[in-house]
Structure 1
Amino acid sequence: MTAYASASPTGSPDAACIVRVCRDCCCGTESKHPGVDHDGLLARLEVGTGGHARVLRSACLLACDESNVVVVTPSPTGRAAGARPVWLRAVLDDATVDEVSAWVRLGGPGVAGIPRALESRVFAPSGLSLTWAMV
């Protein structure tokens, strides 16, 4: 993947990345992550991606041990470059949400290299998670 300094606006939701935010059984809950403003982080992600992604609230993605999970699915351009969805764990603070947003604004998977600050958060989901995420 090649990192770019900037990217032009997508102009169309169909040309954007999809950012799926797990918010069901444990991700996004006060009981699992007390003191985290889950709604605030989701709103920050929606604003931060600035039209470069469709941000979707998802049912459980069956990766509860990695909570809070965010999946960044490449745009059609990223897919054409061979990129696949990138699963991120522990997206629990403003700095991490801002890194995800900045990466998506640059084009996301297949267009821009994953930021160093997010590398340690990438994980490989189970086959069951992958199946469930496609529903």
Structure 2
Amino acid sequence: MSQATRAPRSSSASTACACWPTPPGAAPAPGTASEPPHPPQGRPRPGGAARCAVTVCRGCCCGTPKVPGLDHTAQLTGLRDSLAAVAPVRVTDCLDACERANVIVVQPSADGRRAGGRPVWLGLVNDPDAARDITAWVKAGGPGLADPPGVLDLYAFTPSRRIRRPLG
């Protein structure tokens, strides 16, 4: 999937972090209430309910020897194998957050989105334990439906406005 197929994100400035789901009953962070999905929503299950989706960057820096000490193929294979029955794991070209390689984006399911979940960008996912924590969280429901393991706070980031602005 190329960058041109990614949905644009809201370009309004906000000091509140839109990475984690909005708690039930709380107002969403400014500029995030109508934020379109990014990356695109997961494929529907046979029963019709959309699932979480996991997007793994494998562009110019992520998944390359520029990030040493990690078996990138094993990381991707492990995510795909462990999430096969739960969520699609997609590979995309550069997400333009190279300073945070390896980047993984967890997109909420339709139910998670309705519950206030928003896409969560995770950077520097360079050890097997982080991938296992992401897997456990997605299996538990992902953004909007399950609290992420606390350690994932260390990996979460808000992408720059350059990434979020509409692609034209």
> Do they superpose with TM above 0.5?
yes
Root mean square deviation of aligned Cα: 2.1
Match of 2:148 in 1: 114
Which one of the candidate residues 42, 63, 85 is aligned to 2:76?
Answer: 42
Structure with larger RCO (C-alpha < 8 A, sep 6+):
1
Give, in whole Å, the separation in 2 of the partners of 1:130 and 1:101. Answer: 25
Q: TM-score, normalised by structure 2?
A: 0.68
Alpha-carbon distance, 1:82 to partner: 1.4
The Cα offsets for residues 62-110 of structure 1, whole Å up to 9 and x where unpaired, read as: 1111110000000001001111100001111211110000000000000
Q: Structure 1 runs of 4+ off > 6 angstroms?
A: none
Whether the 8 Å CA contact 1:52–1:107 is kept in 2: the answer is: no
Query: Which residue of structure 2 lines up, in the alignment, with residue 24 of structure 1?
Result: 59
After TM superposition, give the deviation of residue 131 of structure 1 in Å. 4.6
Counterpart of 1:6 in structure 2 is none
- Name 2:101's counterpart in structure 1: 67
The alpha carbon displacement at 1:129 in A equals 2.0
SS in structure 1 opposite 2:88? Answer: strand
Q: How far apart are the structure 1 equivalents of 2:126 and 2:61?
A: 13
Is the counterpart of residue 125 in structure 1 residue 159 in structure 2?
A: yes
Instruction: Identify unmatched segments of 5+ residues in structure 2.
Output: 1-22, 25-43
Is the radius of gyration larger for structure 1 or structure 2? 2
TM-score (norm 1): 0.84
Structure with higher helix content:
1
How many angstroms apart in 1 are the aligned matches of 2:160 and 2:136?
A: 27
Amino acid at match of 1:33: V
More strand by share: 1
2:118 is matched with which residue?
Answer: 84
Distance in 1, Cα, partners of 2:124 & 2:143: 19
Is the partner of 2:59 in helix, strand or coil?
coil
What is the rounded CA distance, in whole Å, between the counterparts of 2:130 and 2:124 in structure 1? 9
| Residues 49 and 102, structure 1, Cα contact 8 Å, conserved in 2 | no
Q: Residues of 2 paired with 1:121 and 1:61: CA distance?
A: 16
Is the 1:48–1:102 Cα contact (8 Å) retained in structure 2?
A: no
Percent identity over the alignment is: 44
Aligned residues: 125
